[in-house]
Amino acid sequence: MSDAVIRFGDEELTLPVHVGTEGEKGVDIGKLRSSLGLVTVDRGFANTAEGRSSVTYINGEEGILRYRGYPIDQLAEETSFLEVCYLLQYGELPSKTELDDFEESITRHTLLREDTKHLFEAFPHAAHPMQILASATSALATYYPDKLDPLDAEAVDISARRLIAKTPTMIAWSYKYRVHQPYVYPDNSLDYGSNFLNMMFSVPAEKYVADPVIVKALNMLLILHADHGQNCSSSAVRLVGSGHANIFSSIAAGIHALSGPLHGGANQAVLEMLDRIVASGQDVDTVVKRAKDKDDPFRLMGFGHRVYKNFDPRARIIKQAAADVLDSLGVDDPLLEVARQLEEVALEDDYFVERKLYPNVDFYSGIIYRAMGFPTDMFTVLFALGRLPGWLSQWRELSADPEAKIFRPRQLYVGPEERDIVRVEDR
Ligand code: ACO
């Protein structure tokens, strides 16, 4: 591969070009500032690769998403979420024995220390589940002070497993506290998804058996969310980890980053948008018109993506699943029809076509979560549960990388020039 050459004034600098597995090319600008006194300006890091990663491959033009080389549709169809957790952590799909051991180890760590109940109870009942999850994740670090060294591979592994095991319990307990119901302890005889649903929806007074349709849908949704390269929250996790903060603090940072409506918070925002459309009886043309109006801050939530410029392969799978799941559960939700109409109108509209705006992973997922019985403001914690193995593998990849550096971007300072202080009584 030939190098790249940059000319600035009378000087010229040759920059090496690195090539990824799928032929992606990256110019290494490591010597740019020391040689030419230049930094790069790249808003939103849209053209910046922080480093190499072997976790996930995305081709936004062709709508390709693969974890460790495996296409997302195959993973969603043929594996369990814990298999995907294993794949993302260790690079390969597990053998049957490896999977049994992994499942056994996750199952053994699902309990929370009894004292953590006080933590949930310190929040107002109406607190948003994302805030509680981030705080509880951060608090977990205080229970395992001997397992926080990011350079101790064994400590990292057990901490990653604890996070995978305990996050469903933290989410379910935050919900139980909010709805004034007793906490339900993990049941180690159940699989990962059924155990989570049991902790969420069972009450001591009644026997609860999770509907297999819901268990299957949850497994698929968690897999589809499991990783997505250097997105906002994964970059936050890596950034915090780059300073050698412990894995719990780094994951808590990822949860906070995910909460915003331009990122994971969009699944809640989509549902609220669809709800408002149905409640107000607005027609979809008016909604699409508003989304195009530059004087109106309203955007069509669940539409558009920084990377996908053709279609989001996750959205295609979820759209079909939404129809199937609602059908199997016998749910007739008017929101699904409104979502379909919105998509149809937007995909024909020049504004959306020119800007290559398509439904993203969040457009249809909320409709399934709602049919499964989850309240709207819990959708983003479900995204976090799915994304957790991705965050963990991204963090572990960086921690184990001998070439990793603390993240420390430059800036172009555009503030005032040097000036002297005028004493306060003279200002
Ligand atoms: N509705 C209306 N217009 C939109 C939308 C939308 N949903 N998304 C982008 N646009 C327009 C922008 O106004 C801009 O128009 P302009 O060129 O005339 O100024 C153009 O499309 C490009 O948009 P940007 O915001 O520059 O694209 P960017 O890559 O920075 O943002 C993002 C991507 C944040 C996803 C954006 O499309 C958006 O806000 N979508 C709605 C929120 C959403 O669904 N987020 C979830 C993303 S998936 C995820 O994180 C899991």
Is 379:75 a contact under the CB 8 Å cutoff?
A: no
Q: Which residue puts its alpha carbon closest to atom 34 of ligand 1?
A: 262
* Active-site choice (3, 305, 332, 350): 305
Average pLDDT over residues 56-65: 95
- pLDDT given at position 310: 87
Dmax (CA) for the chain in angstroms is 80
DSSP letter (8 states) at residue 8: E
Atom of ligand 1 nearest to the CA of 312: 48
Q: Which of these, 225, 153, 155, lies nearest to 397 by C-alpha position?
A: 153
Strand 4-8 and strand 17-19: the pairing is unpaired
The predicted-structure confidence for 181-209, as pLDDT tens digits, reads as follows 999 999 999 999 999 999 999 999 999 99
- Give the end-to-end CA distance of the chain in Å, rounded to a whole number: 60
Is 284:252 a contact under the CB 8 Å cutoff?
A: no
- pLDDT given at position 405: 95
Strand 70-71 and strand 64-67: the pairing is antiparallel
Average pLDDT over residues 89-111: 98
Top mutation candidate among 258, 262, 272 for ligand 1, by most atoms within 8 Å of CB: 262
pLDDT at 365 over 80: yes
Whole-number Å distance, alpha carbon 316 to ligand 1 midpoint, is 19
Angstrom distances, CA of residue 426 to CA of 253, 323, 357, 420: 44, 70, 55, 13
Atom of ligand 1 nearest to the CA of 299: 1
Top mutation candidate among 272, 273, 288, 300 for ligand 1, by most atoms within 8 Å of CB: 300
The predicted-structure confidence for 214-269, as pLDDT tens digits, reads as follows 999 999 999 999 999 999 999 999 999 999 999 999 999 999 999 999 999 999 99
Angstrom distances, CA of residue 206 to CA of 168, 181, 196, 198, 203: 21, 13, 17, 11, 6
Percentage of the chain beyond pLDDT 90 is 97
| Residue 27 Ramachandran class (φ > 0 left, ψ -120 to 50 alpha, else beta) | beta
Classify residue 232 by burial, with Cβ atoms within 10 Å: 0-12, 13-18, 19+: middle
Q: How many CB atoms lie within 10 A of CB 176?
A: 20
- pLDDT given at position 1: 67
Catalytic residue check, 295: no
* Active-site choice (10, 362, 401, 420): 362
Classify residue 350 by burial, with Cβ atoms within 10 Å: 0-12, 13-18, 19+: exposed
Whole-number Å distance, alpha carbon 417 to ligand 1 midpoint, is 35
Is 380:130 a contact under the CB 8 Å cutoff?
A: yes
Rounded distance between C-alpha atoms, residue 3 and residue 178, angstroms: 58
pLDDT at 391 over 90: yes
Whole-number Å distance, alpha carbon 340 to ligand 1 midpoint, is 19
Which band of pLDDT confidence, cut at 50, 70 and 90, is reported for residue 27?
very high
Question: What number of helices (H) and strands (E) belong to the chain?
Answer: 18, 7
Rounded distance between C-alpha atoms, residue 112 and residue 117, angstroms: 8
- pLDDT given at position 2: 86
Q: Which residue puts its alpha carbon closest to atom 37 of ligand 1?
A: 304
Which protein residues are within 6 Å of ligand 1, measured from CB? 44, 262-264, 266, 291, 299-306, 355, 357, 360-362
- pLDDT given at position 74: 97
Catalytic residue check, 305: yes
Atom of ligand 1 nearest to the CA of 294: 13
**Mean pLDDT for the chain overall:** 95
pLDDT at 110 over 90: yes
pTM: 0.95
Whole-number Å distance, alpha carbon 305 to ligand 1 midpoint, is 6
